[in-house]
Structure 1
Amino acid sequence: MTEELLINVTPQETRVATVENGMLTEIWIERAQKIGRVGTIFQGTVKRVLPGMEAAFVDIGLEKAAFLHVSDVQAANANQAEPSIARLLHEGQTLAVQVTKDPLGTKGARVTSKLTVPSRYLVMMPYEDNIGVSVRIDNEAERERLRSNIELLRGESKSNGYIVRTAAEGAETEALQADMEYLAKAWKGVQERRKSSKPGAVIFRDLPLVQRMMRDLNRGNIERIRIDSRETYAQCVTFCNEYVPELETCLEHYPGERPIFDLHGVEDEIDKALNKRVSLKSGGHLVIDQTESMTTIDVNTGGFVGKHNLEETIFKTNLEAAQAIARQLRLRNLGGIIIIDFIDMTILEHRRQVLRALEKALERDHARTQVNEVSPLGLVEMTRKRTRESLEQVLCSECSVCDGRGMQKTLETVGFEIAREIIRQVRQFDIVSVTVLASSEIVEWFTEERSDDLAELQDFAGVPIRLQAEQYYTREHYDVVLQ
């Protein structure tokens, strides 16, 4: 399994695509005006304590207060059994909290006061004393070696706990020690900023998206990392040279005129991932419905009739669907409760094989998943850890035309698409000017909200850009006319 990373950088957003054997499997999007906050530590203020829910709402300076459950509160007495939220927190109290889930839909962020600081090989848990090893390291001898090394390196004080990350497999003792020293300095900085920071202030922020990807990659499978920004490429070379030298040879600046996401059809795959229907090679298809509470996936045979009998048709369609579902979960970043309605199978062994195929395909998923047995109704219930917004939530918003019953791309998403299309055309053709025909709301977004970005785009393209509002164009409908 070879892996390639394609990194597209513009002033407004950074996009990272993971391609496995020529197929897009995951996409990360970080926009300058909406950077993910998972891992960020804030100086928070307790706004409300809810004894009935054993939880509290904490103001961390965002639009919505963050949710803190009693199980995520660092108690002064670690041995206290089932502590009450009212005994641990009070309104107006200041405490440092770390975001574990970004705000999703109508919900605020989920936070914890059990702080952690990550590095390449380790995650430090300042208020704990235990040592954990990633379950993805399955060699028992290696797990014991790593645990013993960390125990030896931290000495008798046991002032901090650690989680050994998957990347630490095979790491030398010296490298682990360097990581621990780096974490000690980082935690000291957090403590110093806590003393002087006002409520709502950020006192620790994880690395930017691209560097974070470099740190957390499964480096054994990476073949190459292509970056279309010369500045970001230079930053990655410096970062890799200091922290992950084995990745430096994989880095490659991509100067091509063809947009980097046109390679392997990434742009087309992103568009397909916003559709409910996913076609299968056999002729069957999936229907994926994402709601705030859960995601449902329905498997249909479609036009696939098989060669022998109906049971064979159903079995082969379900096997193919299991592979496709695992990929779609990663690509769309679907999390929470997921209900899969496979086509009913009468043969018990077929059910087992389909379930095993799904579990096997999910092994490549970086997010933690849990799959239950097939229910009497033929449904598979599973969960996938959700820490950030799904692809649809990042790129789309509720449709105002149908009163919230459907989704449409946000103004920002369409605007960035237009900008990329202009750059694509300018690189390919010798033109004098560009006229963009679009809906009035897109034209207003460019001229009123993003006039600076429009000017920057015009300078970058080197030609004048004219915007023309078309009365009958919908938000997602636009044309780029070259002159």
Structure 2
Amino acid sequence: MSEEILINVTPRETRVGVVENGMLQEVHVERASRRGYVGNIYKGRVQRVMPGMQAAFVEIGLERAAFLHASDIVRPAISSVEEEESGGNGNGHVPSISELVHEGQEIVVQVVKDPISTKGARLSAHLSIPSRYLVLLPHARTLGISARIEDEVERQRLREVLGTLIGADAVEGNRLGYIVRTNAEGQGAESLAFDVTYLGKVWRVVQENIAKARVGERVYEELSLPLRSLRDMLNEDIEKVRVDSRETFERVARFVHKFMPQLDDRVEHYDGERPIFDLYGVEDEMQRALKKDVPLKSGGYLIVDQTEAMTTIDVNTGAYLGTRNLEETVYRTNLEAAQAAARQLRLRNLGGIIIIDFIDMTDEEHKRQVLRMLGKGLARDHAKTTVYPMSALGLVEMTRKRTTESLARQLCEPCPACNGRGMLKTAETVTYEIFREITRAVRQFNAEKLLVMASPSVVSRILEEESAAVAELEEFISKSIRFQAEEHYSQEQFDVVLL
């Protein structure tokens, strides 16, 4: 499989695209004005404790107070080295939030989810600092192996190598905890030792920053988007990393040489006249990813609908008629849809609860194959996904970890004409609203004439199709009404002026 990472840099915006076999799979956007906070560590102060929610709101210097749940507050670390897939906290009991923090208390926290929509950032007091192959867990004293490394022999080897390396590593007498990342599979002791040393240095700097920081100050900043992307995604499968900015290329090259010297030759500066995202068709793919409909090669299509509560993906056969029978047609469409849906989740960065409404199938084997195809498509997704069995209605429920806004919510805003409803009132509906407003206005105020300003489509309809109704209304209120088309008015907008 041919896989490339494209880095496009402009003064105020950086974009990273992941292209597999010539097709865009992921795109990440970071703007100077709205750089994300995930991974940053702050010294905060507890603003409010909410026992009913088992949570506290913490001031960390952002626009809105951030949310900290009781389960995300550090508790006594487990005492023995054991396998922890996610750096767990050692016990299942969650004390009352009132026992853990109090208002006015200073606390060191890390952002695990950016502010999304009207919600503040989500915090954790379980700090973690990632490197190329490891994640440092300063308060956990645990050794974990990524669940994506499935070979038990390799898992045991990594456990032994890291166990040897961290045996001598101590900070103030306490051994630090680590998780071995998926990237570490097949890596030797030297590579892991480098990361252990690097993370130890970073943690010492963080501790120094914590000691002197004031409330609301950042004590650790996550890497910028280009470096973060390479740290998490660059491996032997990536054929090329192309960067269209000389300054960013030099910074990326230094980073790769330091942490991944064996991949030095994969990074190159792109200096072509044609923009790099245009050359690979990324701009067009991004525009398509903002639409609700996703055409399938067979003639079917998906409808992707993102709401506050969840994202739904509806599968339709469309123009695809198949060649054999209805069940076969449905099966083929669903197979293609499963693959396309997995790609759209990555491309659009959709998270939270996701419902995929496949076309009804009666054959149980067909259902299993469709789920298998969906799982296969999600296998290369860097975000954690959980897929549940297909329901009797043909619905597949799944979750995908969300840490940042979706692509659409990063690049778009609600339509000012419909306020995000996705629909406009018809010209007929607005016409009758105008008639009611006229009747209401003349009952409240004295005026000889009325002027109605509205969009051209509404005024045109009133003068052509509702002229008789206007005459009746003028007779009823004993006043003349003049209509004026305003080009800049939306279809729902109008004003009734008393003259």
Structure 2 length as normaliser, TM-score?
Answer: 0.80
Structure 2 counterpart of 1:95: 107
Percent same amino acid among aligned pairs?
58
1:8-157 to 2 correspondences below 5 Å:
8-76=8-76, 81-155=93-167
Alpha-carbon distance between aligned partners in 1 of 2:327 and 2:364, rounded to the nearest angstrom: 12
Q: 1:321, CA displacement in angstroms?
A: 0.1
- Per-residue CA deviation, residues 346-396 of structure 1 (Å, 9 max, x unaligned), is 111111111111011110111110001111111000000101110001000
Name the CA distance, whole Å, in 1 between partners of 2:200 and 2:56: 30
Q: Which amino acid aligns with 2:209?
A: R
Secondary structure, in 3 states, of the residue corresponding to 2:323? coil
Instruction: Extract unaligned runs of 5+ from structure 1.
Output: 408-470, 475-483
Deviation at 1:308, TM superposition (A): 1.1
Tell whether the 8 Å contact from 2:149 to 2:182 is kept in structure 1 after alignment: yes
SS at match of 1:91: coil
Paired with 2:75 and 2:145, the residues of 1 have a C-alpha distance of 24
For residue 105 of structure 2, what is the amino acid of its counterpart?
Q
Identify the residue that residue 451 of structure 2 maps to in structure 1. none
SS of 1:292's equivalent?
Answer: coil
Contact 2:114–2:403 under 8 Å retained in 1: yes
Deviation at 1:6, TM superposition (A): 1.1
The letter of the residue matching 1:61 is G
The answer on whether the counterparts of 2:13 and 2:31 sit within 8 Å (CA) in structure 1 is: yes
Between the aligned partners of 2:118 and 2:58, the Cα distance in structure 1 is: 16
Q: 2: CA distance between counterparts of 1:89 and 1:406?
A: 43
Cα shift at 1:50: 0.8
Q: Quote the Cα distance in structure 1 between the aligned partners of 2:254 and 2:76.
A: 41
Alpha-carbon shift at residue 77 of structure 1 (Å): 7.0
Query: Using the alignment, how far apart are the partners of 1:230 and 1:108 within structure 2?
Result: 36
Q: Distance in 2 between matches of 1:69 and 1:97?
A: 11
Distance 1:264 1:77, change over 3 A: closer
Q: Find 1:304's aligned residue among 320, 323, 330.
A: 320
Q: For residue 404 of structure 1, report the CA deviation from its aligned partner.
A: 2.6
The within-5 A match list for 1:245-260 is 245-260=261-276
Q: What amino acid maps onto 1:86 in structure 2?
A: S
Q: Report the alpha carbon displacement of residue 75 of structure 1 after superposing the two structures with TM.
A: 2.1
Q: Match of 2:74, SS?
A: coil
Given that 2:77 and 2:141 are in contact with CA atoms closer than 8 Å, whether structure 1 keeps it comes out as: no
Unaligned runs of 5+ in 2: 79-89, 424-486, 491-499
Moved more, 59-68 or 268-277: 59-68
- Aligned with 2:396 (options 380, 404, 408): 380
| Structure 1 contact 273–331 (Cα < 8 Å) conserved | yes
State the alpha-carbon separation in 2 of the partners of residues 191 and 67 from structure 1: 23
What is the DSSP-based 3-state SS (H/G/I as helix, E as strand, rest coil) of the residue aligned with 2:321? coil
Q: In 1, are the aligned partners of 2:335 and 2:373 still within 8 Å (CA)?
A: yes
1:43–1:94 Cα contact (<8 Å) kept: yes
Q: How many residues align?
A: 411
Contact 1:43 / 1:203 at 8 angstroms: preserved in 2? yes
Counterpart CA distance in 2 for 1:264 and 1:343 is 33
* Aligned partner letter, 1:306: G
Partner Cα separation in structure 1 for residue 335 and residue 42 of structure 2: 45
| C-alpha displacement of 1:247 | 2.3
CA-atom RMSD in angstroms? 1.6
Q: Distance in 2 between matches of 1:19 and 1:71?
A: 38
- Equivalent in the alignment of 2:368: 352
Could you tell me how far apart the structure 1 residues matched to 2:341 and 2:128 are? 32
Is the 1:72–1:112 Cα contact (8 Å) retained in structure 2? Answer: yes
1:191-225 Cα offsets, whole Å, 9 max, x none, are 11111111111100111111111211241211111
Question: Partner amino acid for 1:225?
Answer: V
Q: How does 1:323-338 map to 2 (within 5 A)?
A: 323-338=339-354
Instruction: State whether residues 125 and 162 of structure 1, in contact with CA within 8 Å, keep that contact through their aligned partners in structure 2.
Output: yes
Q: Deviations over 1:227-277 (max 9, x none)?
A: 111111111111111111122201111111111101221100000000000
TM-score (norm 1): 0.83
Aligned to 1:439: none
Looking at structure 1, the residues matched to 117 and 54 of structure 2 have their Cα atoms a distance apart, in angstroms, of 23
**Separation in 2, partners of 1:111, 1:189:** 21
SS of the residue corresponding to residue 330 of structure 2 reads: helix
Rounded Cα–Cα distance in structure 1 between residues aligned with 2:77 and 2:153:
34
Which position in structure 2 is the counterpart of 1:174? 190
Query: What do residues 9-57 of structure 1 show as CA deviations (whole Å, max 9, x unaligned)?
Result: 0111000100000000000100001111110001111011111111111
Contact 1:214–1:244 (CA under 8 A) maintained in structure 2: no
Structure with larger Rg: 2
Q: Find the aligned partners of 1:37 and 1:77 in 2 and give their Cα distance.
A: 26
Distance 1:185 1:147 in 2: 22
SS at the partner of 1:374? coil
Q: Residue 397 of structure 2 aligns to which amino acid in structure 1?
A: E
1:244-323 correspondence to structure 2 within 5 Å: 244-323=260-339
- Residue identity matched to 2:248: T
Establish whether residue 242 from structure 1 lines up as the match of residue 254 from structure 2: no
